[in-house]
Chains A and B, each alone.
Chain A
């Protein structure tokens, strides 16, 4: 899966297979950065937000998720296009195309926000393993060593394969949803028609949903991984399928999380911890649902605990201009792997530290809300520029849609940021 096969060779190999299977194989061949980054968006923080949406408002947030999916597709498509046509990641393009100071500020904020996220991913790993009765003091170090080994030892294609297998755990959510026996009719009507509530809590949750679905680290990872995979303008067509498909699949998983919790514990109010969500599912949907939830959380956290530090390492190495590729050895790219390792180790250490340090660091997620609009604006400007993308720059229609998406997401993030900061005083 290291390179995308040309359509002709692919068709030649699978001529005898039925048409449906052929399509499936073609899809499997292009699977890669898009689906990984979208799945990494369903991380520990994401799952708790979706579960909270389900338990607090039932099925009402589903239509919103459909809208968010559109925005995610638009943003992710721009990112993978930038990567394929320029051969440079987002960090590199920001250094080249924008003033040094603003770029450096964005990178510093990304570094801090991602450090906070890494902590929450390791906390998620610990939490999921504790549902199975394994101490976090065992689970987190083992996960740390595993993640480091797979990432540093393998080439890009091998790391990608591991990521794709990890992504399979997200199948547990549809199963958990079916086990909860939801009202499929209500689900369908909520997916197709808006059922918004006029309340402050609903607005807050809506923004939280957007913020956890469209995150800066996903965009940095996606662009860099497209470059690392070696996608060129010629092979971009397949990559675009992967990106769009990934964004949709990732959000379908999120929608199933909302359905699962809505069916089991809908209307019971907000959740505060992941264990609470899994525990609440137990009496309604049986022990299996709770276990499935934990498996999903574990896979999601493992995936995100790898992708988040990787995105930092990519972004900052690109800004500096030093070698950054998963296909390089430790000696060829010491800065890249060094940054990755430091984030990983510090994240795991803080997640294991006693006291209330974890909740403190998770507050760094607020920073995500602050940098998301900035990064989205950078992406939009870059994808609009003909000097960057040439003929592949955004057309007038796409530009209008993308501007609306970025504008709405930015305004909503700003609203919540102001509210959060005001809440501190």
Chain B
């Protein structure tokens, strides 16, 4: 659009108003009576009405900035985070671009030594057969494309190792219970990322947004907006409501995949942090900076 005198004037006015609003937003009208203020209308002890009003405006502005920051972080994450919901059902192609099968699951090997397990193999369906391909034959790219590295990739029949966790089957849509036994929510997406030279399980999305994303059309499925992400390191083990107690001796993945099983958090639901997009991004960047230092 051409910049005419008119649009120039309009922009100026917008700028002036923006500044006025900013000034209004700042707690400028603070008039304190001693340590505790009095409400000018009711004369009850409390915060001055003017202060409250200007703080509300400041809050609105803060909120807006916050939303913008989160959106920015989410867009940045679209290039680095892998969404299980987006990966599931996509076509797996070999280097020549031929379709080999459809993704049905990602398998991680979960042992006590690693807080963030890495993907060990990929499960796909080719015709009526279910096939497993080791992760070294596959590249997984964000937000959700899978490609075979070689057309001579080693493919085997599915077989379950005791420490294996099949993410789509055992984690997605299963129950998450906190340390006090309170049922929290069902994870509607699982996030992974390239860290430490492999694809690692990062966390679980427990917000309703991911659910709507999965109900919507496929093409929008990779549009991640992480808002309530539980750090995978806070997950303790699998449990079943029908097998109470003594899980201490067992492996973490012992009950994975049984009907009615769920994940148990290490902490109570009040203590568990829910990461937003910016926090996920910060954690990822920190992990990658650590990688770079080690290799450099």
A interface with B by C-beta (< 8 Å):
85-88, 92-93, 95-97, 100-101, 104, 227, 232-233, 319-324, 332, 387-389
Contacts and interface: CB of A to CB of B under 8 A. Distances in A.
A86 B259 contact: yes
B220 to A, nearest CB: 14
Contacts of B241: 87-88, 227
Nearest to B187: A321
Contacts, number: 53
Majority secondary structure of chain A interface residues (helix, strand, loop or mixed): helix
B178 to A, nearest CB: 10
Contacts of B215: 100-101, 104
A96 B256 CA distance: 13
B184 A233 contact: no
Interface string B219-232: 00000000000000
A329 to B, nearest CB: 11
B242 A321 contact: no
A377 to B, nearest CB: 18
Given A101-B215, A320-B185, A332-B182, A388 B242 contact: no
B: contact size bracket: 10 to 19
B242 A320 contact: no
B7 interface: no
A319 B185 CA distance: 9
Contact of B173 (A96, A322, A324): A96
B234 interface: no
B182 A321 contact: no
A319 B259 CA distance: 15
Contact of A321 (B183, B240, B259, B260): B183
A368 to B, nearest CB: 23
B242 A322 contact: no
A223 B183 CA distance: 18
B44 to A, nearest CB: 28
A322 B183 contact: yes
B176 interface: yes
Contacts of A388: 259
A233 B242 contact: yes
A235 B184 CA distance: 27
B242 to A, nearest CB: 5
Contacts of A387: 259
The 10 A-B residue pairs whose C-beta atoms are closest, nearest first, are A321-B186, A87-B241, A86-B260, A388-B259, A87-B242, A88-B260, A323-B183, A321-B185, A86-B259, A87-B260
B259 A95 contact: no
A100 B186 CA distance: 12
A321 B214 contact: no
Given A85-B242, A100-B214, A101-B215, A322 B260 contact: no
A227 B240 CA distance: 13
A322 B184 contact: yes
Nearest to A93: B259
Nearest to A336: B183
Nearest to B241: A87
Max chain B C-beta neighbours (<10 A), residue from A92, A100, A321, A323: A321
Contact of B259 (A233, A323, A324, A389): A389
A232 B244 CA distance: 11
A104 B212 CA distance: 10
B186 A86 contact: no
A90 to B, nearest CB: 12
Contacts of A227: 241
Contacts of A87: 240-242, 260
B104 interface: no
Given A87-B260, A387-B259, A322 B185 contact: yes
B83 interface: no
B175 A92 contact: yes
12 contacts: A86-B259, A88-B241, A100-B211, A100-B214, A101-B215, A232-B242, A321-B173, A321-B183, A323-B182, A323-B183, A332-B182, A388-B259
Interface string B180-193: 00111110000000
A95 B176 CA distance: 14
A319 B184 CA distance: 12
B186 A320 contact: yes
Contacts of B186: 95, 319-321
B82 to A, nearest CB: 19
A389 B260 CA distance: 10
B174 interface: yes
Contacts of A232: 242
A324 B176 CA distance: 13
Contact of A88 (B176, B184, B259): B259
Interface string B236-247: 000011100000
A323 B186 CA distance: 11
A323 B242 CA distance: 17
A232 B174 CA distance: 20
A388 B258 CA distance: 7
Contacts of A86: 242, 259-260
A200 B94 CA distance: 60
Given A87-B260, A88-B241, 17 more contacts: A85-B242, A87-B240, A92-B175, A96-B173, A96-B259, A97-B259, A101-B215, A104-B215, A227-B241, A232-B242, A321-B183, A322-B184, A322-B185, A323-B182, A323-B184, A387-B259, A388-B259
A162 B128 CA distance: 53
Contacts of B214: 100
A376 B103 CA distance: 30
A29 B291 CA distance: 63
Contacts of A319: 186
B284 to A, nearest CB: 26
A111 to B, nearest CB: 15
A294 to B, nearest CB: 41
Nearest to A100: B214
Nearest to A105: B215
A238 to B, nearest CB: 17
Nearest to A317: B183
